[in-house]
Amino acid sequence: MQPTGIALIAAIVCLGGCSILPVAELVTTAAAKHSYILDGSGSPTVILQSGLGDGKDSWRPVFAEIARQTQVFAYDRAGYKASRSANQQRTGNTIVRELRATLQALDLKPPYIFVGHSLGGTYVELYARTYPDEIAGVVLVDSRHGDFTRQCEIAEAGSCTPPALLSALLPYAAQKELAGGDQTMAEVLNAAPFPDVPLVVLTRGKPMFTGALFYEVWLETQRSLATLTSESTHTICDRCGHYIHKDAPDLVIAAITSVLKRARVSPSE
């Protein structure tokens, strides 16, 4: 599918209104305690999953507009701000289980539309592969492919893993997730097939400081993500860096809107 549909929706999306987020609340389950925000009404519920080192606030540019269309949820993973877990192993399977327990505790019923940025997109992919019946659609925002590091190393692109100094500067929770990164990627690659649901893959178009070859591998793995379903769209945002939802919130809103519309059409229609 060509990107023109997403671009058209982006052109007509109105961003008006305020970017103030709802007051955060806490929910405690046997798996974790999560700080979260929830707004809007309708279904499917949109679940926002942030990237490494980021929390729910990173979705400020798009949250309010999505809440005008349906119910939307964002949260801080354990270790970020007020969120906590007794499980110190911060791998994808752990994070997926903790999130699912929270969604159940809040009575947010599936199927969901998941939106994931960067490593958060990897967690989203794992959730979709683990609980395919709970997925109505997915938007991946410059998400890291489970096989990216290996392909990057084969291509000898350099900087395939974050340098030790950068890792040391990350918040403790992000360091733990980074330490569990190899296992997370293995969990994704060994998981069940991705469900055949509406999927939009959004990819940065601005050059990476890591070099041209690194970006070539990144782009190739982004194209691979876009083959996960028969209902996929891949859009490269030329004006965007890694944080597409901040550089081009209209594009991310349009992608979510597109998936939401398709998810609301029943198979019989």
195 and 231 Cβ atoms separated by less than 8 Å: no
Q: Dump pLDDT digits (tens) for 65-119.
A: 999 999 999 999 999 999 999 999 999 999 999 999 999 999 999 999 999 999 9
Q: Dump pLDDT digits (tens) for 219-235.
A: 999 999 999 999 999 99
For residue 173, being part of any structural domain is answered with: yes
Q: Dump pLDDT digits (tens) for 127-160.
A: 999 999 999 999 999 999 999 999 999 999 988 9
Q: Dump pLDDT digits (tens) for 25-47.
A: 999 999 999 999 999 999 999 99
For residue 148, being part of any structural domain is answered with: yes
| pTM of the complete model | 0.91
For residue 46, being part of any structural domain is answered with: yes
pLDDT for 266 equals 59
Q: Say if residue 3's pLDDT is above 80.
A: no
For residue 127, being part of any structural domain is answered with: yes
For residue 23, being part of any structural domain is answered with: yes
Beta-strand relationship, 72-75 and 33-39: antiparallel
For residue 239, being part of any structural domain is answered with: yes
Q: How many domains does the chain have?
A: 1
- Residue 269's pLDDT band, with cuts at 50, 70 and 90, is very low
For residue 129, being part of any structural domain is answered with: yes
For the chain, the average pLDDT equals 92
Q: Say if residue 14's pLDDT is above 50.
A: no
Q: Say if residue 10's pLDDT is above 60.
A: no
Q: Rounded distance, CA 214 to CA 36, Å? A: 35
Starting from the edge strand earliest in sequence, which strands make up the sheet with 232-237, in order?
Answer: 25-28, 33-39, 72-75, 46-49, 112-117, 135-141, 199-204, 232-237
For residue 268, being part of any structural domain is answered with: no
Domain that holds residue 102: 4-263
The CATH number of whichever domain residue 89 belongs to comes to: 3.40.50.1820
